[in-house]
Amino acid sequence: MPIGGRKVSPTAVEKESAVVASPISGREVELPAMWNRMFEPRVLSDYGPDGFARLRDMAGGGGTESLEWCYGCNKCVPVCPVDLVGEYGPRKIHRKVQTGVDLLEDPDLWLCTTCGNCLRVCPKEVDMIQIMPEAREGALAEGNVPSELQDVFQKTFRYGNALGENPRRRAQWTRDAGVPVKVLPKDPSPVDVLFYVEDYWSYHPRGQEAARAFARVATALGVDFGILGHEEKTLGDSQRLAGEKGLFDSLVEDVAATLSKYEFNRIVTPDPHGFNALVKEYPKRGHTFEVLHYTQLLAPLVDRIEWQRELNLTVTFHDPCYLGRHNGEYDAPRTLINAIPGIELVEMGRCRENGYCCGGGGGGMWLDGFTRDHTTERLSERRVREAAATGADTLVVCCPYEVSRFEDAAKSTGNDHLKVRDIIEIIDEAMGHGPAAS
Ligand code: SF4
Ligand code: SF4
């Protein structure tokens, strides 16, 4: 049985041949299967284009019309992570809209993680990364949004972070880092790297551990960096993809105003979602920066790392959708992993371009309760079982959403033996900063 094998492939219902009476002569003719369909009622004549027209005419300004371009080749469905735990994929959504379902009222609207795997294979470029945020914006305008997501929007609006934490606590993680971390509002002198910590590395206990590890590793490598401390707000990409474009636009202006106060050469962030926003969305609004994911900063410096420990770990690596598929970076994390002494990397079947989504993108990070009601299991649970099947003892990640998601999933699937760690934590340990390897 495949991992997470609750998915049952549909059974073909076509007969190999059929006998059909001619409506003119009445004579019976035997036809092969490929022609049987010709004599079935055609749904296209039963339904109108209203569902597509509603999407196409939405106020958001374009992007939703590509759903109409689907010609049913079905390439998207087998690669859609949600279809493996339910019934999903652009073709199925196209079909639902075609047969009269209002997408703005349907639970399917909130299940897409905008992972981008369907767009990778779609010959018609049906673009769920455009369709979903815009349709969600329309649903939001009608007050139709899952309550857990609404809660995150309100927290982000009020506190500038998705967790509803006090902005004054943004830099608290630095206290136990073991190295000094420059907080730019206190010391506004120029830095090479503006380290944009983002929400989960700032506030989540497991994220804070990774942030401290980054500070130690970057300091050891002589990286000149500073953080924004209480002036940092989330870059807001997941809120945008979940439909809150207005909130995103206001965050862009706030963030750009804050960044304009300081002198730096480049922005480095651990968050692939924030990275995506800075690379693709901020420039559209007039704010262009040199941006690196932290793995891209460290990979060229790897030869300068003075390793102190050999770790003896077998690991597997989960590609974050917004670093890999959306921004084409697959090698920097692997360069780092392969450089760590005593590490053996075993790839999962679904990796790199075809990496399986953890379920956190596009607002999915905050929709676990909702998705639980509409899928057979969480994407993170399915992914953890794929990771465990490789025989690895550690699942390594480089997205702040993933450590907590996968740790929960490891517990709920009975794979407690599988440790989940950010790459930076393992580098830190092998450099002799963290706890000794067990
Ligand atoms: S791959 Fe594209 S054209 Fe083919 S079924 Fe999916 S959405 Fe339609
Ligand atoms: S973007 Fe990902 S989750 Fe959404 S429909 Fe496409 S493959 Fe499925």
Q: What is the pLDDT of residue 288?
A: 98
Closest CA to 146 of 366, 312, 321, 418: 366
Beta bridge partners of 420: 395
* Distance separating alpha carbons of residues 361 and 273, to the nearest angstrom: 8
Quick one: which atom of ligand 1 is closest to the CA of 74?
5
Q: Which residues of the chain have pLDDT under 70?
A: 1-16, 32-48, 59-62, 434-438
| Terminal Cα-to-Cα distance of the chain (whole angstroms) | 33
Helices (H), 309-422: 331-339, 368-372, 379-389, 402-412
CA dihedral 168, 174, 176, 181 (to 10 degrees): -140
* Distance separating alpha carbons of residues 271 and 365, to the nearest angstrom: 13
Tell me, in angstroms, the distance from the centre of ligand 2 to residue 116's CA: 6
pLDDT, tens digit (0-9, with 9 covering 90-100), for 223-269: 999 999 999 999 999 999 999 999 999 999 999 999 999 999 999 99
Pull the structure tokens for residue 399: 């997205």
> Is there an atom of ligand 1 within 6 Å of 70 CB?
yes
Tell me, in angstroms, the distance from the centre of ligand 2 to residue 194's CA: 33
* Distance separating alpha carbons of residues 227 and 171, to the nearest angstrom: 8
Mutate to test the pocket of ligand 1, among 122, 127, 128, 132 (most ligand atoms within 8 A of CB): 122
* Distance separating alpha carbons of residues 223 and 192, to the nearest angstrom: 8
Tell me whether domains 160-297 and 300-430 share a fold.
yes
* Distance separating alpha carbons of residues 316 and 325, to the nearest angstrom: 18
Residue whose Cα lies nearest atom 1 of ligand 1: it is 122
The pair phi, psi for residue 64, each rounded to 5°, is -85, -15
Q: What is the pLDDT of residue 436?
A: 44
What does the H/E/C string look like for the chain?
A: CCCCCCCCCCCCCCCCEEEEECCCCCCEEEEEHHHHHHHCCCHHHCCCCHHHHHHHCCCCCCCHHHHHHCCCCCCHHHHCCCHHHCCCCHHHHHHHHHCCCCHHHCHHHHCCCCCCHHHHHCCCCCCHHHHHHHHHHHHHHCCCCCHHHHHHHHHHHHHCCCCCCCHHHCCHHHHHCCCCCEECCCCCCCEEEEECCHHHHHHCHHHHHHHHHHHHHHHHCCCCEEECHHHCCCCCHHHHHCCCHHHHHHHHHHHHHHHCCCCEEEEEECCHHHHHHHHHHCHHHCCCCCEEEHHHHHHHHHHHCCCCCCCCEEEEECCCCCCCCCCCCCHHHHHHHHHCCCEEECCCCCCHHHCCCCCCHHHHHHCHHHHHCCCCCCHHHHHHHHHHHCCCCEEEECCCCHHHHHHHHHHHCCCCCCEEEEHHHHHHHHCCCCCCCC
CATH 3.10.310.30 for domain 300-430: no
Q: What predicted TM-score, i.e. pTM, was given to this entire model?
A: 0.89
Q: What is the pLDDT of residue 83?
A: 96
Closest CA to 152 of 249, 82, 243, 81: 243
Q: What is the pLDDT of residue 40?
A: 54
> Is there an atom of ligand 1 within 6 Å of 432 CB?
no
Tell me the one-letter amino acid at 85.
V
Q: What is the pLDDT of residue 62?
A: 63
DSSP track, 246-315: HHHHHHHHHHHHHHTTS-EEEEEES-HHHHHIIIIITGGGT----EEEHHHHHGGGGGG--------EEE
Q: What is the pLDDT of residue 28?
A: 83
Pull the structure tokens for residue 266: 């480049």
Tell me, in angstroms, the distance from the centre of ligand 1 to residue 120's CA: 11
Q: What is the pLDDT of residue 13?
A: 59
Tell me, in angstroms, the distance from the centre of ligand 2 to residue 420's CA: 25
Closest CA to 333 of 425, 264, 398: 398
Contacts (Cβ under 8 Å, ≥6 apart) of 89: 76, 77, 80, 82, 83, 118
Q: What is the pLDDT of residue 19?
A: 79
* Distance separating alpha carbons of residues 15 and 2, to the nearest angstrom: 28
CATH 1.10.1060.10 for domain 44-141: yes
Quick one: which atom of ligand 1 is closest to the CA of 125?
2
pLDDT, tens digit (0-9, with 9 covering 90-100), for 191-206: 999 999 999 999 999 9
* Distance separating alpha carbons of residues 154 and 26, to the nearest angstrom: 68
pLDDT, tens digit (0-9, with 9 covering 90-100), for 92-119: 999 999 888 999 999 999 999 999 999 9
Tell me, in angstroms, the distance from the centre of ligand 1 to residue 281's CA: 26
> Is there an atom of ligand 1 within 6 Å of 72 CB?
yes
Length of the chain: 438
232 by Cβ neighbours in 10 Å (0-12 / 13-18 / 19+) ranks as buried
Domain locations in the chain? 44-141, 160-297, 300-430
Query: What is the CATH T-level fold of the domain 160-297, as seen in this structure?
Result: Rossmann fold (3.40.50)
